[in-house]
């Protein structure tokens, strides 16, 4: 029931342009649109809604292959990874998806530029993080962060389920290494780095869940501590969105998790879509992936 009520809500609040806003009646954005599409995929009554959303997504892809984050924004950003995920879900990797992957392959955090690496190597630059791994930024020309890196790694892994590519596999490995290298002292992940100046930063439940999704296929031993931290978060975190992401992560790892409660009409569309994806009979499997060969 909780899944169906969420899917019904998503169908009710789809915008006329085919997309979803973060809240009903607001501008369409890539992020809620992709997650709503994934949540509705395979559901008979959602077929035409998903097709309309896909057409909108196609109109948002820029000539360089990137995706714009929403109706009003012109430049491509990290949401390109979501475009690739949606393309994988629709078996549309050729053309649209491939151009998105090409754009993602050209992006990396500014901290991994060779100038920074050289300066770090010779100790001209004191760094709190390992700058040798290339991750992904929120926007071109800025630093790599855990969330966009994890989502991109996940999207690229999904793409390799359809089509193996050595250079993509290599970037995926780097992305995984970046995520692993930035783990916090408490076992989970903060948004960017484990410390600022000499102070440790606490990890966040949502970032920890996304990092775990990006690291699917790594050894259980490597992920034992993060899984333990995630389990603690699941017990006591106050963020519904974080709990929804943790639920998806646990399901993808085959771990037992409690079904989300009944939908209570919260107008947060992104949250609703993520909760629907994480339902026991939801489409979390679209975010499940394995190790890269």
Among positive and negative, which fits the CA dihedral 203, 107, 36, 282?
A: negative
State yes or no: residue 204 binds another protein (CB under 8 A).
yes
> 27 burial class (0-12, 13-18, 19+ CB within 10 angstroms)?
middle
Nearer to another protein, 92 or 190 (CB): 190
State yes or no: residue 145 binds another protein (CB under 8 A).
yes
Nearer to another protein, 22 or 253 (CB): 22
State yes or no: residue 19 binds another protein (CB under 8 A).
no
The C-alpha atoms of residue 94 and residue 289 are separated, in whole angstroms, by 20
User: Which residues between 23 and 42 bind another protein (CB under 8 A)?
Assistant: 23, 26-27, 29, 31
Q: Is residue 32 helix, strand or coil?
A: helix
Furthest C-alpha separation in the chain: 60
Q: Which of 65, 109, 188, 278 binds another protein (CB under 8 A)?
A: 109
Q: What is the DSSP letter of 110?
A: G
Number of residues that bind another protein (CB under 8 A): 60
User: Which residues between 69 and 88 bind another protein (CB under 8 A)?
Assistant: 69-70, 72-74, 77-78
State yes or no: residue 117 binds another protein (CB under 8 A).
no
State yes or no: residue 110 binds another protein (CB under 8 A).
yes
Minimum distance from residue 266 beta carbon to another protein (Å) = 8
State yes or no: residue 128 binds another protein (CB under 8 A).
yes
Minimum distance from residue 232 beta carbon to another protein (Å) = 14
CA 121 to each of CA 113, 130, 159, 207: distance values in angstroms, whole numbers, following the listed order: 12, 10, 34, 29
For residues 100-139, one letter each, b for 16 or more C-beta atoms within 10 angstroms of the residue's C-beta and e for the rest, the string is bbebbbebbbebbeeebbeebeeeeeeeebbbebbbbbbe
**Residue ranges that bind another protein, judged by CB under 8 A:** 21-23, 26-27, 29, 31, 69-70, 72-74, 77-78, 109-111, 115-116, 118-120, 125-129, 131, 137-139, 141-145, 147-148, 182, 191-197, 199, 201, 204, 206, 237-242, 266, 268, 270-271
């Amino acid at each position: 029931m909780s899944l169906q009520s969420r899917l019904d809500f998503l169908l009710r609040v789809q915008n006329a342009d085919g997309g979803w806003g973060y809240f009903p009646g607001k501008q369409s954005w890539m992020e809620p649109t992709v997650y709503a599409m994934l949540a509705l995929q395979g559901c008979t009554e959602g077929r035409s809604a998903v097709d309309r959303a896909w057409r909108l997504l196609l109109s948002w892809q820029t000539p360089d292959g990137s995706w714009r984050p929403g109706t009003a924004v012109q430049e491509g950003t990290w949401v390109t990874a979501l475009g690739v995920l949606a393309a994988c879900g629709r078996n549309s990797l050729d053309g649209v998806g491939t151009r998105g992957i090409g754009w993602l392959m050209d992006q990396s955090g500014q901290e991994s530029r060779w100038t920074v690496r050289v300066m770090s190597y010779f100790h001209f630059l004191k760094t709190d993080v390992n700058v040798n791994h290339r991750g992904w930024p929120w926007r071109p020309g800025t630093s790599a962060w855990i969330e966009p890196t994890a989502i991109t790694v996940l999207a690229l892994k999904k793409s390799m389920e359809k089509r193996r590519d050595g250079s993509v596999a290599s970037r995926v490995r780097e992305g995984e290494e970046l995520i692993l290298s930035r783990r916090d002292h408490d076992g989970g992940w903060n948004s960017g780095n484990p410390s600022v100046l000499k102070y440790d930063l606490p990890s966040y439940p949502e970032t920890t869940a996304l990092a775990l999704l990006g690291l699917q296929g790594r050894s259980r031993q490597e992920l034992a501590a993060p899984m333990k931290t995630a389990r603690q978060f699941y017990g006591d975190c106050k963020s519904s969105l974080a709990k929804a992401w943790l639920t998806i992560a646990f399901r993808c790892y085959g771990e037992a998790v409690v079904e989300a409660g009944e939908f209570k009409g919260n107008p947060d569309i992104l949250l609703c879509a993520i909760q629907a994806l994480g339902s026991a009979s939801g489409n979390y499997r679209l975010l499940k992936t394995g190790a890269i060969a």
